[in-house]
Chains A and B, each alone.
Chain A
Amino acid sequence: MKQENIRNFSIIAHIDHGKSTIADRILELTGAITEREMKDQLLDSMELERERGITIKLNAVQLKYNYKNNDYIMHLIDTPGHVDFSYEVSRSLAACEGAVLVVDAAQGIEAQTLANVYLALENDLTIIPVINKIDLPNADVPKVKQELISTLGFSEEEIILTSAKTGEGIKELIETIIEKVPAPSGNPNDKLRALVFDSFFDPYRGVVALVRIVDGKIKVKDKIKLMASGATHDVTELGINSPKQQIKEYLTAGEVGYICGSIKSISDIKVGDTITLENNPATEKLPGYKPMKPMVFCGLYPVESNRYTDLREALEKLKLNDAALEFIPETSEALGFGFRCGFLGLLHMEIIEERIEREFNIDLIATSPSVIYKITKTDGEIINIDSPSKMPDRQKIKLIEEPYIRTNIYVPSEYIGQIMELCQNKRGTYINMEYITAERVNIHYEIPLSEIVYDFFDKLKGVTRGYASFDYDLIGYKPSDLVKMDILLNGKSIDALSLIVHKDFAYKRGKAIVESLRKLIPRQLFEVPIQAVIGSKVISRTDIKALRKNVLAKCYGGDITRKRKLLEKQKEGKKRMKMVGNVEVPSEAFLAVLSMEEE
């Protein structure tokens, strides 16, 4: 295939705006799959992805299309839709020359629409704007058109109207991609440079890397070198997805495909790295590589402590396919043996937790999430801590800094007041506000990331009745007046419940946590005081009253077996409890800091 007849593109959209259904229709129309083969939304293959309506792992499919008597090859590169994975999005966009921007005809532009557009622009992509779901009864095409024109500077003629549901506009879209997206420009005779934009682990072939050949050519048996990591491997197999895998002899500049090389660990071939030939290496690697760094941390512990090894195996298996997941063993006095885990963001964390519970059947206790705090000690040493338990003594701390983000909150203007109140409560600093249309604004605040990892999403949805969309950029570290707050149960400090809070918010949060623990921890045989303390100062205290009744009152008729079953049932109920000192604490209580009600 001539290079000028190749088109590489992605589809970008806010969650639920119809990215995957558009991909499905394109696959159908180009004959890549028949309707009968069609599982709904083929590209989203993981069960969890389909349930949440988001794409977590990427995929790249080769399509064929005949246009004006010319055969074209198109590579559709799928991208995840969530801010947690924005680095992965940016790398798959880097593998393309064009992007289809999908906007829901009823919803209009949302936070992630813009975030994705900016990523596409950074990568110099040709953007084709599409208004999808025009068949919806509440579609407002003129209004959404206006948003695209005024916010993003498209012209009205550029905008394509589609309904992925009925198939309307899809043919036009494909042909517009061919017309407008430039052919790849790399040189097939240059030294090999291939961009790794995704990888996954296959138990039989090792790591499968998805690559875009930028320059040169790659063949089976080539000895390849990763330019950032320096690792070398032999290519054992390569090919394309159509969407079934087809083995090929070689891949050449402009093409998108997969390569395998008996690579054991996904960390050996990182997304964003450049592949070249060991004996004929390129001089410069492709731009944009950065190692992925976890932003959010929490402790994961098995509810049943004898399942520690199972949990380790589960994390190892997930890690095979997830270079961003980090974990190291951690011991908690309260929870026993577990792992400190690092995630790209909250969604990433939730997905991992859910997969461990669902696919590996391990009940988990997750401690409240933390960010990385940068602490300058009085002796000048600077340390990074990802857990309150690692916080040094207060006397030894000179300065604490914490990561801040800048928000994009897209919301109908009637909710501005509520958003401002919420952000203020989350220690936010108001920056500015942009009117997208007369009724919709983008509100910018600077907020500590640690406030976002608590209940920001839920609160945001609550105060705007689901109308807000939210996205953020990390803007770096800022000094904060932070203190470590400990929670004492029956006079004993519970390490897994400690947290780092801002001094001005400590009293309020302490009170809320103590109250929420009182509700979550059942009454015990004795009275249990709960205290929130900073250093030795008690900020808040409440008591769980002693249990007054739990008895099999009548036991006559000699029906012992049934009575015994009642006791066994009670015993079973206690399995989700952890003995902390002599207090039985249900596993949910360790997330109390998240579920607390602030008045």
Chain B
Amino acid sequence: MSIYIHIPFCTQICSYCDFPKVLKNEKLIDKYLISLEKEIQEKYKNEVVSTLYIGGGTPTSLSLKQLTTLFKIIEKINLSKDAEVTIEANTEDLTIEKLKLLKKYVNRLSIGIQTFNATRLKELNRKININNLKNAFKHFDNINIDLMYGFKSQTILDLKEDLEKIIKLKPAHISTYSLIIEPNTLFYINKYNKIDEDLDRKMYDHIIKVLKQNGYNHYEISNFAKEKFESRHNLVYWNNENYYGFGLGASGYLKNTRYENTRSLTNYLNGKYIMNKHKLTQNETIQNEFMLGFRKVNGINKIEFKEKYNINIDDIKEIKELLKLNLLLENQTNIYINPNYLYTSNEILIRLIDLDAGLC
């Protein structure tokens, strides 16, 4: 079993962010943590948990005291011995004191850098504390760095600079995301322009090339890792496995049912947690398996698929067609998206999201 915990508080709001979040407010945080504890008590059935992910918002924006309260709640979770416990962090928050506290409860940091370029940081409404960043690497060996690209007027040269700086830090894991202008973000409101699709693709191809040269394994559309440092928690999503989602706007997947928590803080504080629940049909489960599984560069394991659904993946009509078109490829063990089409994978996935696998 896995758990995602959402901490929706931030010191400042990034221009691109459309996750559930609010500006930090001490009283709200205290109430939130009480409600969160209640939610976990209500839902969690004490399963052994092998990955736990604390995301946000900015979890590290909580004070030492509040973080301690949060970890008290988490201590009650039945974590396996080798559990992967990640917390998302901003460099500004990572003082020595906080790093020391975090070190006691988590073994993986996911640090949002996005870019080192001062002008762009300003556009994004973000800051970086280089000193804290370096300290973080002294305390943790399993660190992910988030890198963003595709900014207005960004060039390949600019991207190279960011990449070099990140590689120098030797993080175990790197996530790269092309900027998306989502509705209800500052960028959307301000009509921020993105680079065009062709340059975006060039940047993506460049990132793959450079990170491979530096020993990173490209294992998911946007994710790269040193050997054995793949994000086990994210693999739970991509393998279509079960997880709890706790906190504002969090989503979970249990007993064939996907649920979403409320995005209203008032409702959440009043204990009205779940907003939507949807029990999946077998077909939907398989469709999701493809939508998620084909995010992985190695795709879907044929034997595991057969074990899970009791049908052969290459008996499915749509899969056969895509193999014939060379949009999907296969080897002895796996079926995967032709790497040339990974960055246009939606075109492939939409042919799979309404397939009928002949089950109910």
Binding between chains A and B: yes
With most chain A CB atoms within 10 A of its CB, the pick from B19, B325, B344 is B344
Q: Complex formed: what's the CA distance from A188 to B345 in Å? A: 81
Contact A525 B344 (CB under 8 A): yes
Smallest distance from the beta carbon of B201 to chain A beta carbons, Å? 4
For A383, the chain B residues whose CB sits under 8 A away are none
Contact A549 B343 (CB under 8 A): yes
Q: Is residue B55 contacting chain A, with contact meaning CB distance below 8 A? A: yes
Contact B344 A558 (CB under 8 A): no
Q: Is residue A574 contacting chain B, with contact meaning CB distance below 8 A? A: yes
Q: Is residue B341 contacting chain A, with contact meaning CB distance below 8 A? A: yes
Contact of B201 among A548, A570, A582 (CB under 8 A): A548
Q: Is residue B234 contacting chain A, with contact meaning CB distance below 8 A? A: yes
For B225, the chain A residues whose CB sits under 8 A away are none
Given contacts A525-B347, A549-B343, A567-B291, contact A557 B19 (CB under 8 A): yes
Contact A561 B201 (CB under 8 A): no
Contact A571 B350 (CB under 8 A): yes
Q: Is residue A478 contacting chain B, with contact meaning CB distance below 8 A? A: no
Q: Complex formed: what's the CA distance from A111 to B200 in Å? A: 55
For B175, the chain A residues whose CB sits under 8 A away are 554
Contact A553 B258 (CB under 8 A): no
Contact A551 B344 (CB under 8 A): yes
Contact A551 B346 (CB under 8 A): yes
Contact B346 A567 (CB under 8 A): yes
For A571, the chain B residues whose CB sits under 8 A away are 350, 353-354
Contact B177 A560 (CB under 8 A): no
Q: Is residue A564 contacting chain B, with contact meaning CB distance below 8 A? A: yes
The closest CB in chain A to the CB of B327 belongs to A525
Query: Which residues from 334 to 358 on chain B have a C-beta closer than 8 Å to any C-beta of chain A?
Result: 341-347, 349-350, 353-354
Please report the number of residue pairs spanning A and B whose Cβ atoms sit closer than 8 angstroms: 102
Q: Complex formed: what's the CA distance from A553 to B180 in Å? A: 8
Q: Complex formed: what's the CA distance from A160 to B349 in Å? A: 71
Given contacts A560-B258, A561-B251, A564-B288, contact A551 B343 (CB under 8 A): yes
- Beta-carbon contacts of A534-564 to B below 8 Å, as 1s and 0s? 0000000000010111111111111111011
Smallest distance from the beta carbon of B174 to chain A beta carbons, Å? 13
Q: Complex formed: what's the CA distance from A556 to B198 in Å? A: 25
Contact A547 B344 (CB under 8 A): yes
Q: Is residue A310 contacting chain B, with contact meaning CB distance below 8 A? A: no
Q: Is residue B32 contacting chain A, with contact meaning CB distance below 8 A? A: no
- Beta-carbon contacts of A463-506 to B below 8 Å, as 1s and 0s? 00000000000000000000000000000000000000000000
Q: Complex formed: what's the CA distance from A272 to B291 in Å? A: 64
Q: Complex formed: what's the CA distance from A548 to B350 in Å? A: 16
Query: Which residues from 195 to 250 on chain B have a C-beta closer than 8 Å to any C-beta of chain A?
Result: 197-198, 200-201, 204, 221-222, 234, 237-238, 243, 245, 250
Given contacts A553-B180, A553-B222, contact A560 B288 (CB under 8 A): yes
Q: Complex formed: what's the CA distance from A550 to B222 in Å? A: 13
Contact B291 A563 (CB under 8 A): yes
Q: Is residue A333 contacting chain B, with contact meaning CB distance below 8 A? A: no
For A582, the chain B residues whose CB sits under 8 A away are 325
Q: Is residue A16 contacting chain B, with contact meaning CB distance below 8 A? A: no
Q: Complex formed: what's the CA distance from A574 to B287 in Å? A: 18
Q: Is residue B178 contacting chain A, with contact meaning CB distance below 8 A? A: yes
Given contacts A560-B251, A561-B260, contact A574 B350 (CB under 8 A): yes
Q: Is residue A313 contacting chain B, with contact meaning CB distance below 8 A? A: no
For B237, the chain A residues whose CB sits under 8 A away are 555-556, 558, 560
Contact B4 A557 (CB under 8 A): yes
Contact A554 B177 (CB under 8 A): yes
The interface on chain B, measured as residues whose beta carbon lies within 8 A of the other chain's beta carbons, has a size of 46
Q: Is residue A4 contacting chain B, with contact meaning CB distance below 8 A? A: no
Given contacts A551-B221, A553-B222, contact A567 B350 (CB under 8 A): yes
For A570, the chain B residues whose CB sits under 8 A away are 346, 350
Smallest distance from the beta carbon of A60 to chain B beta carbons, Å? 54
Contact A558 B253 (CB under 8 A): yes
Smallest distance from the beta carbon of A24 to chain B beta carbons, Å? 48
- Beta-carbon contacts of B118-149 to A below 8 Å, as 1s and 0s? 00000000000000000000000000000000
Contact B55 A556 (CB under 8 A): yes
For B221, the chain A residues whose CB sits under 8 A away are 551-553, 555
Query: Which residues from 142 to 198 on chain B have a C-beta closer than 8 Å to any C-beta of chain A?
Result: 175, 177-178, 180, 197-198
Q: Is residue A35 contacting chain B, with contact meaning CB distance below 8 A? A: no
Given contacts A564-B353, A567-B291, contact A553 B177 (CB under 8 A): yes
Smallest distance from the beta carbon of B297 to chain A beta carbons, Å? 13
Smallest distance from the beta carbon of A129 to chain B beta carbons, Å? 57
Q: Complex formed: what's the CA distance from A525 to B351 in Å? A: 13
With most chain B CB atoms within 10 A of its CB, the pick from A548, A558, A574 is A558
Q: Complex formed: what's the CA distance from A312 to B278 in Å? A: 40
Query: Which residues from 277 to 305 on chain B have a C-beta closer than 8 Å to any C-beta of chain A?
Result: 278, 287-288, 291-292, 295
Q: Complex formed: what's the CA distance from A561 to B177 in Å? A: 20
Contact A549 B344 (CB under 8 A): yes
The closest CB in chain A to the CB of B180 belongs to A553
Query: Which residues from 519 to 541 on chain A have a C-beta closer than 8 Å to any C-beta of chain B?
Result: 523, 525
Q: Complex formed: what's the CA distance from A560 to B257 in Å? A: 12
Contact of A558 among B251, B327, B350, B353 (CB under 8 A): B251
Smallest distance from the beta carbon of B9 to chain A beta carbons, Å? 16
The closest CB in chain B to the CB of A584 belongs to B347
Q: Complex formed: what's the CA distance from A582 to B325 in Å? A: 10
Q: Complex formed: what's the CA distance from A424 to B44 in Å? A: 80
For B345, the chain A residues whose CB sits under 8 A away are 550-552
Smallest distance from the beta carbon of A79 to chain B beta carbons, Å? 52
Q: Is residue A124 contacting chain B, with contact meaning CB distance below 8 A? A: no
Q: Complex formed: what's the CA distance from A559 to B53 in Å? A: 14
Contact of A555 among B4, B204, B250, B295 (CB under 8 A): B295
Contact B347 A549 (CB under 8 A): no
Smallest distance from the beta carbon of B49 to chain A beta carbons, Å? 14
Q: Is residue B276 contacting chain A, with contact meaning CB distance below 8 A? A: yes
Contact A549 B200 (CB under 8 A): yes
For A555, the chain B residues whose CB sits under 8 A away are 221-222, 237-238, 292, 295
Contact of A548 among B197, B252, B278 (CB under 8 A): B197
Contact A561 B278 (CB under 8 A): yes
Q: Is residue A122 contacting chain B, with contact meaning CB distance below 8 A? A: no
Smallest distance from the beta carbon of A564 to chain B beta carbons, Å? 6
For B243, the chain A residues whose CB sits under 8 A away are 558
For A557, the chain B residues whose CB sits under 8 A away are 4, 6, 19, 55, 250-251
Contact A550 B347 (CB under 8 A): yes
Q: Is residue A568 contacting chain B, with contact meaning CB distance below 8 A? A: yes
For B354, the chain A residues whose CB sits under 8 A away are 568, 571
For A552, the chain B residues whose CB sits under 8 A away are 221, 295, 345-346
The closest CB in chain B to the CB of A569 belongs to B350
Q: Complex formed: what's the CA distance from A551 to B238 in Å? A: 15
The closest CB in chain A to the CB of B234 belongs to A556
For A554, the chain B residues whose CB sits under 8 A away are 175, 177, 180, 222
Smallest distance from the beta carbon of A580 to chain B beta carbons, Å? 16
For B295, the chain A residues whose CB sits under 8 A away are 552, 555
Query: Which residues from 97 to 131 on chain A have a C-beta closer than 8 Å to any C-beta of chain B?
Result: none
Smallest distance from the beta carbon of B6 to chain A beta carbons, Å? 8
Q: Complex formed: what's the CA distance from A182 to B253 in Å? A: 86
Interchain residue pairs with CB less than 8 A apart (22): A525-B327, A525-B341, A548-B343, A549-B200, A550-B345, A550-B347, A551-B346, A552-B221, A552-B295, A554-B222, A556-B55, A560-B258, A560-B288, A560-B291, A561-B258, A563-B291, A564-B287, A567-B349, A567-B350, A570-B350, A571-B350, A571-B353
A-B pairs, top 6 by smallest CB distance, nearest first, are A548-B201, A550-B346, A571-B350, A549-B197, A550-B344, A548-B197
Interface contacts beyond A564-B288, A564-B353: sample of 17 additional A-B pairs, CB < 8 Å, sorted by A: A525-B327, A525-B344, A548-B197, A549-B344, A550-B344, A551-B346, A553-B178, A558-B4, A558-B250, A558-B251, A561-B258, A561-B276, A561-B278, A568-B354, A570-B346, A571-B350, A582-B325
Report which B residues bind A (CB closer than 8 A): 4, 6, 19, 55, 175, 177-178, 180, 197-198, 200-201, 204, 221-222, 234, 237-238, 243, 245, 250-253, 258, 260, 276, 278, 287-288, 291-292, 295, 325, 327, 341-347, 349-350, 353-354
